[in-house]
Chains A and B, each alone.
Chain A
Amino acid sequence: MDVLPLLATGFGHLFTPVNLAVLAVGLVLGMLVAVLPGLTLVMGVVLALPFTYKMGVAPALILLTAMYVSGTYGGAITAILFRIPGEPMDVPLIWDGYEMARKGEAALALGWSLVAALVGGLVSAVVMVLLAKPVAGLALAFSTPEFFAIVFFGLASVVTLSGTSLANALISLCLGLLIATVGVDEVYGAERFTFGQPFLQDGVEFLLVMVGAYGIGEVLTRMGCGFAAEGGGAEKGAARFRTAFPRLSAMLGMKATFARGTATGIVVGVVPGAGATVSAFVAYGLESQYGKNRAALGSGAAEGIVAAKSAATASVGGALVPLLAMGIPGSGATAIILAAFLLHGIQPGPQVFVSSPDLVYTVFATVFAGVIGMCILGYFAIRPLCKVLEAPEAIVSAFVVVFCFVGAFAARNNLSDLNVIAAFGVLGFLFERYGFPIAPLVLGTILGPLAETNFMTTMVSFDNDWTVFFTRPISGGILALAFAGLAWPLAKAAWQRARASRSAHAQPG
């Protein structure tokens, strides 16, 4: 059991004055971006990325991981008190949390939310520590066909989970993969899609796509729809900013809900691309089907809060497993953490457990400390956090754009990158407008080189025999899962159409 000494080393690295300060800053920033409805958790982590360029790799990862952890909690406060979900994952909390608040039980609703976040976060952190190394060990036995299959599975999962149109999601993914091919090819040194422009020879940095499409695209979308003149929470400041913990007997009576929510969060979190929002909704759905108190869900039942919040926080540990063990991000925020690794010259995956175990276990320690710190912050900082809601959206958005530009410029000190980020900002807006999800675009840009390298190496090594991807048991199995995942929405839609058609025919008259 060499995990405990390594984890202790991770805590040792974390508990230095500088790293603890970075942890605290990350927790506060994560809470702030989660509270502000105009600023998503992923966008917040993106905006923090430029500040990590000059940091060491450990503080950079501590900052972003802490933001990721606490970002899953902040929105719960505003969802319960003001009916303003700071993040999409907090929507289920409105259904029961806000209803509890309306009945005068706001403090108790916040207490349930805090306990659920603590339990979900800590249990998933333990599972993450226990699971990551064995998964990485398994991945060490993989060859290029298996790695290609894993990357393909990750990309396919993102596609199937994003948006209502599978075709649009796949198109978005293809565009991301194409953007990743721009520049000088690594294998043959051939120029691709540079069109004689020198600045394109170095390729298009995934950071520019990410920051432009997510950050500027979102701001333009909001501006086009009209900003709220003032912040949303100002006029509702009379709410009680207090947290009251539930009784131990009540918590024990809800242990099945805690277990379901946490397990759902971990499992969904491990699936690449799913993340906290999907976890929260799936857990809430499961609770409404199998929960003891399912009939009361939606009318102010604590079970609804516990299921959604424990799952959302538990997804953090789950999402970090594929990131650290295989280099595949499990969510939007972990894609940014992957970017931070890459910007510091470290490729997450099985080798990182051998080459930089200290770093991996520092991230693990950050999750443990982050969950506890998040709960402490969530308990004591409700009132100042809610004051943030008073900031007008137009002002917040203006600063978001400037942060995006600075982030894009500072990566390479290249003014051409500003043009690229502005172009991707407009593209992000158009994607949002016409129903093309942005996540596959970004993931395609990040994972494209990995997919291509493994694909090309396999083709060269196996004499252009593409069947090798399907005949090797592990890669074949993973690809079968990926194709099944892609086929599932189509099959489901066909089944629903057939059922609707049958019931239409069955209608008299």
Chain B
Amino acid sequence: MPGKLRLVLPHGLLLAATAFLYWAATRIAANTGAGRIGPDAWPKAILVFMGALCAWEIVRRLAMRPRGAAQPSPAGGGEGADAPPALQWGKLAAGVGLVVGYVIVVPWVGFFVATAVFLAAFPWFGGMRRPVLTTVLGLAGSLALVVVFMRVAYISLPLGAGPFQALSLALLKLIGVS
């Protein structure tokens, strides 16, 4: 990606989102009565300010570079901002994938199974390549959390569907939750 584009990409995306949201705000419908400001006034005011800030930041960043000033880091702060550490994209993708995957599967497989897999897989992808330890950690950790949340704190957590629901119910019966 060209340097200039990368430099202004976050603020460019935010500016585009601001424009879209302003369009959405124009469609807010309400019967406010004559002379009164409506429910769209507050979000519109914020969006105008936010759009102006994004535009200002884009212009500032584009204008700064030819003068040979220190190149702002992706951390965006510009002056004085420290460069962020290098990203390990594989680990990051795995982390995001696991978080999103957990959210998707937990309604189907239930809290116990989803959490056991997550607690085993997350450290594994995080660099802890000890299969026995991570597997034990997943199962024991998930069981401990089920006991803490469902038996001690009385929080109702997803049981899952089909055979997973049967498994969750059997587990709850085992730990004494009716």
Taking Cβ atoms with an 8 Å cutoff, the residues of A that contact B are 50-51, 53-54, 163-165, 167-168, 170-171, 174-175, 177-178, 181, 185, 187-193, 195, 216, 219-220, 223-227, 229, 392-395, 397-399, 401-402, 405-406, 409-410, 413, 415, 418-419, 421-422, 425-426, 429-430, 433-436, 452, 455-456, 459-460, 463-464, 493
A216 & B99 in contact (Cβ 8 Å cutoff) = yes
Taking Cβ atoms with an 8 Å cutoff, the residues of B that contact A are 10-11, 14, 21, 24-25, 28-32, 35-43, 46-47, 49-50, 53-54, 56-57, 60, 73-81, 84-89, 91-92, 94-96, 99-100, 102-103, 106-107, 115, 118-119, 122-123, 125-128, 137, 141, 145, 149, 153-158
A188 & B31 in contact (Cβ 8 Å cutoff) = yes
Q: Choose from A168, A178, A195, A398 the contact partner of B122 (Cβ within 8 Å).
A: A398
B118 & A398 in contact (Cβ 8 Å cutoff) = yes
Q: A156 to chain B: closest CB distance in Å?
A: 13
Chain B residue with Cβ nearest A182:
B43
A167 & B53 in contact (Cβ 8 Å cutoff) = yes
A435–B82 CA distance with the chains assembled, in angstroms: 9
A171 & B50 in contact (Cβ 8 Å cutoff) = yes
B88 & A224 in contact (Cβ 8 Å cutoff) = yes
A225–B90 CA distance with the chains assembled, in angstroms: 10
B46 & A398 in contact (Cβ 8 Å cutoff) = no
A419–B122 CA distance with the chains assembled, in angstroms: 18
A50 & B126 in contact (Cβ 8 Å cutoff) = no
B149 & A406 in contact (Cβ 8 Å cutoff) = yes
Give 10 A-B contacts (CB < 8 Å), ordered by A residue: A54-B153, A164-B81, A192-B28, A394-B123, A394-B126, A405-B106, A422-B102, A433-B84, A435-B76, A493-B79
Chain A residue with Cβ nearest B37:
A459
Q: Which residues of B contact A399 (CB under 8 A)?
A: 119, 141
A434–B13 CA distance with the chains assembled, in angstroms: 12
Knowing A54-B155, A223-B92 are in contact, say whether A163-B126 is a contact too (CB < 8 A): no
Q: Which residues of A contact B149 (CB under 8 A)?
A: 406, 410
Q: A373 to chain B: closest CB distance in Å?
A: 23
Q: A22 to chain B: closest CB distance in Å?
A: 13
Q: Which residues of B contact A493 (CB under 8 A)?
A: 79
Q: Which residues of A contact B73 (CB under 8 A)?
A: 435
Q: Choose from B60, B107, B155 the contact partner of A50 (Cβ within 8 Å).
A: B155
A54–B149 CA distance with the chains assembled, in angstroms: 11
| With A181-B43, A227-B126, A464-B35 already in contact, 11 other A-B pairs whose C-beta atoms are closer than 8 Å | A195-B24, A394-B127, A398-B122, A398-B123, A401-B99, A406-B149, A406-B157, A415-B158, A422-B103, A433-B74, A464-B36
B122 & A401 in contact (Cβ 8 Å cutoff) = yes
A435 & B50 in contact (Cβ 8 Å cutoff) = no
Q: Which residues of B contact A392 (CB under 8 A)?
A: 123, 128
Q: Which residues of A contact B88 (CB under 8 A)?
A: 224-226
Q: Which residues of A contact B128 (CB under 8 A)?
A: 227, 229, 392, 394-395
B126 & A223 in contact (Cβ 8 Å cutoff) = yes
B96 & A402 in contact (Cβ 8 Å cutoff) = no
A193 & B24 in contact (Cβ 8 Å cutoff) = yes
Query: Quick one: which of B54, B56, B76 has the most chain A CB within 10 A?
Result: B76
